[in-house]
Amino acid sequence: MPEIVYPPVIKTALALFKALNMKFRLEGTEHIPPTGGAVLVSNHVSYLDFIFAGLAAHPAGRLVRFMAKKEVFDHKVSGPLMRNMRHIPVDRLAGASSYKAALTALKNGEIIGVFAEATISRSFEVKDIKSGAVRMAVAAGVPIIPITIWGPQRMWTKGHKKRLFQRGVPVTILVGEPLHPKRGDDYEKATEELHARLSELAEKAQREYPELPKPGETWWQPAYLGGSAPTPAEAAELDRKESEERQARRAAREAAAESDAAAKDGTSGA
């Protein structure tokens, strides 16, 4: 199937980055396989990470099909783009179909992009990850490529205003050596190794970042480097409260829908 949408999107993004005078540090791209399937696993610090994670495969001439939450595909603007770029929607209430689609793509030689933390890390340190990426790589017989991104959180991240058109923001993208989990391995231990690799790359990117926060801007720096971002424990508590609020809103919507349905049934019965 010809790639009609994805390449123009990449060209547009690169042109925008140039116009914004963004400064890139891109290392380790030789670890991206020139052919064949792979699971690209990235840390998650901003709403823009899929754009920059995709750039990691650009020097190898590869396109990455990202697994992203279904809501992105439901949006009237992003939805058509995501579908035409052949990304994979993830419905957290019915994940089997997205897993199957990703597995098929991997076996067909695609690179699948995964944010194993599931949600943005408010602390900017790598959160706990589940074994799904490892299991998927093993099932497809492909390597896992760990990558980390640092810098885009300054433009748009959870709990802070969008600053999409800041000029001169440095962005670091580090690609690590592949992992090759196989059948019979302890998947939890393999996942711990993946987490360790991601954390090591993230710390390297953060410690070697070419800029320090200005006064009043320390929110984008992790606490362990003296920034005012939440600690991992504080971030976990914020995530817990957000999850509870989201569940409460969902329950309220469902109750309202049931009430409306009951009222309509009552009217029709009258």
* 204 and 246 co-located in one domain: no
* 19 and 141 co-located in one domain: yes
**94-137 pLDDT, tens digit each:** 778 999 999 999 999 999 999 999 899 999 999 999 999 999 99
**74-90 pLDDT, tens digit each:** 999 899 999 999 999 99
Is a pLDDT exceeding 90 seen at residue 64?
Answer: yes
Cα diameter, the chain = 72
* 214 and 104 co-located in one domain: yes
Return the pLDDT at 153. 98
Q: Provide the residue type at 34 as one letter.
A: P
Average pLDDT, the chain: 94
| Domain assignment of residue 1, yes or no | no
Name the E strands within the chain: 23-27, 38-42, 64-69, 88-90, 111-115, 144-150, 170-175
Write the CA distances from 174 to 53, 88, 259, 265, integer angstroms.
Answer: 9, 24, 51, 58
| Domain assignment of residue 129, yes or no | yes
Strand partners, 7: none
**102-114 pLDDT, tens digit each:** 999 999 999 999 9
* Highest mean pLDDT, choosing among 197-201, 246-250, 261-265: 197-201
Q: Are 234 and 242 in contact (CB under 8 A)?
A: no
| Domain assignment of residue 143, yes or no | yes
Domains identified in the chain, total number: 2
Is a pLDDT exceeding 90 seen at residue 93?
Answer: no
Q: Provide the residue type at 81 as one letter.
A: L
Q: SS3 for 123?
A: coil
Torsion over CA of 249, 251, 255 and 257, rounded to 10 degrees?
Answer: 70
Is a pLDDT exceeding 90 seen at residue 200?
Answer: yes
Strand partners, 146: 41
* 101 and 147 co-located in one domain: yes
Is a pLDDT exceeding 70 seen at residue 270?
Answer: no
Q: Provide the residue type at 168 as one letter.
A: G
Is a pLDDT exceeding 80 seen at residue 211?
Answer: yes
Spatial distance between the Cα atoms of 31 and 179, rounded to a whole number of angstroms: 10
* 50 and 111 co-located in one domain: yes
Q: Which of 64, 149, 51, 181 is nearest to 113 (CA)?
A: 64
Write down the residue that tokens 């006064």 correspond to: 215
**220-249 pLDDT, tens digit each:** 999 999 999 999 999 999 999 999 998 999
Structural domain of 243: 231-270
Spatial distance between the Cα atoms of 205 and 122, rounded to a whole number of angstroms: 17
In the chain, pLDDT over 90 holds for what percent of residues? 88
| Domain assignment of residue 72, yes or no | yes
Q: Which of 24, 75, 71 is nearest to 52 (CA)?
A: 24
* 242 and 201 co-located in one domain: no
Spatial distance between the Cα atoms of 220 and 94, rounded to a whole number of angstroms: 34
* 106 and 19 co-located in one domain: yes
DSSP state of 48: T
Spatial distance between the Cα atoms of 39 and 134, rounded to a whole number of angstroms: 9
Spatial distance between the Cα atoms of 131 and 209, rounded to a whole number of angstroms: 30
* 34 and 99 co-located in one domain: yes
**18-56 pLDDT, tens digit each:** 999 999 999 999 999 999 999 999 999 999 999 999 999
Return the pLDDT at 268. 63
Return the pLDDT at 206. 98
DSSP state of 216: T
Write down the residue that tokens 């380790």 correspond to: 28
Return the pLDDT at 265. 79
* 55 and 93 co-located in one domain: yes
* Cβ-Cβ contacts under 8 Å for 18 (sequence gap 6 or more): none
Spatial distance between the Cα atoms of 177 and 175, rounded to a whole number of angstroms: 7
Name the E strands within 80-153: 88-90, 111-115, 144-150
* 181 and 269 co-located in one domain: no
Spatial distance between the Cα atoms of 226 and 218, rounded to a whole number of angstroms: 8
CATH number (domain holding residue 129)? 3.40.1130.10
Measured in whole angstroms, how far is the alpha carbon of residue 126 from the centre of its chain? Answer: 12
* 83 and 147 co-located in one domain: yes
* 43 and 169 co-located in one domain: yes
Is a pLDDT exceeding 90 seen at residue 67?
Answer: yes
